[in-house]
Amino acid sequence: MIHWRIGTVAKIDKEREQVQFIQVQDEDGATMKAVHYTDVQPLVRVGSKVLINTTAVDLQLGSGGYHFVYMIIDDTLNEKKDGGSKPNHIGHIMKLRYTPQQRSVLTCEEPNSPTHTLFLEDKSLEETPVLIGELHSMLPILCSWLHYKQNQGKTTKHVKICYVMSEGGALPISFSEHVACLKDTGWIDGTVTYGHTYGGDIEAVNKFTALIAAKHILKADIIIVLMGPGIVGTGTKLGHTGIEIGEIANAVSILQGIPIIVPRISFMDHRERHRGISHHLLTTLSTIALKQSQLYLPYNLPQEYTNHIEKQITEFGVQKLHVITWYNHLKFDDIEKSLNLYPFPIKTMGRGLYDDPAFFLAVCCAAQAALEVLMQD
């Protein structure tokens, strides 16, 4: 079911490419936060009458407290149709297919694309390191560490980093504050959206061609693949969108890349299934990821934590297929310094570095591993 409400735009809080964050006043006088995507609709103004989808907030789900504008009912303030992207008359691949919100995009593979011929060839990832994780909050942590290490002169060249956004969370890449920030700072050099995600610098049909695009169109040295904000979970073994990690890792291996899993580790989550290595990741590595991946884990944790992780790995048989490397040389002070370079505080599940240091340490281990793969070349 879908919950609808009609309201009037009371304030424009902020806007950036393809999205506005606004406040809408409903017919009862209540003010609500809302997101309005301007890739296929004109900009709204104060006084515009809009129809909003309130389902996620009404169900108390993790949408950041935002409603979403479905359509502008009264567009008299936008008679010139300013704002929004011009219709793409070249692309013929539909995203959000067979829904009222479907839109055409020019994907990198289709015949009208200037890169079409690239996908007629047998291209590989050429042993490019690919960082694969399940939470969008890992993105700024990974990029902060990579940027910090480059500033320290630990690499001999600028490392080109590409972000590939999967379908596990938000579908419009414009919703992500982190992506907007990382592009503004130049910490990521390009983005790819595939499947029904949309709005990246490159559009692709599936995860395989998205990875090829990141390598051969955007010329990435390191590829990061994560879902957008909003992982879906049901508290069951397989019923979560984080399961895609295994599918992506398989794709990277098939394309001759180096899959490096970004571990989700926490000892501060109140849910037992997420204590130590999350059950999401343990299940994925033992059941879904059928080809060998690299897993780097922090060893400089309290002994109790390390013992717990070692027990989990053994019980799930993760070591039977995947290569596990323990790191003990990443320093908390360096992680703190790297995060301080980011323009605003980074949190995961509402927790920052001091609230859940094991999480941040584990993510930085994966980022460091990707750099070390490059330095071996």
Nearest to 125 by CA among 217, 259, 255: 255
CATH code 2.20.25.90 for 4-78: no
- Say what the pLDDT of residue 328 is: 85
- Say what the pLDDT of residue 48 is: 94
Cα–Cα distance for residue pair 144/182, rounded to 1 Å: 9
- Say what the pLDDT of residue 105 is: 95
Give every residue of the chain whose pLDDT is below 70, as ranges: 62-63, 75-89, 154-156, 377
Do the domains at 4-78 and 116-376 have one common CATH topology?
A: no
- Say what the pLDDT of residue 135 is: 96
- Say what the pLDDT of residue 156 is: 60
Q: Are 323 and 289 in contact (CB under 8 A)?
A: no
- Say what the pLDDT of residue 288 is: 96
Cα–Cα distance for residue pair 362/353, rounded to 1 Å: 11
Q: How many CB atoms lie within 10 A of CB 272?
A: 8
Query: What is the Cα 110 distance to its own chain's centre?
Result: 24
Helices (H) and strands (E) in the chain, counts: 9, 17
- Say what the pLDDT of residue 377 is: 67
- Say what the pLDDT of residue 62 is: 63
Strand partners, 227: 166
- Say what the pLDDT of residue 177 is: 95
pTM of the model: 0.93
Q: How many CB atoms lie within 10 A of CB 235?
A: 9
Cα–Cα distance for residue pair 185/10, rounded to 1 Å: 31
- Say what the pLDDT of residue 19 is: 96
Looking from the CA of 340 toward its CB, the CA atoms found within 13 Å total 7
- Say what the pLDDT of residue 364 is: 97
User: Domain 116-376 maps to which CATH number in 1.10.4100, 2.60.40, 1.10.155, 3.40.50?
Assistant: 3.40.50
Domain map (residue ranges) of the chain: 4-78, 116-376
Measured in degrees and rounded to the nearest 5, phi and psi for residue 271 equal -90, 125
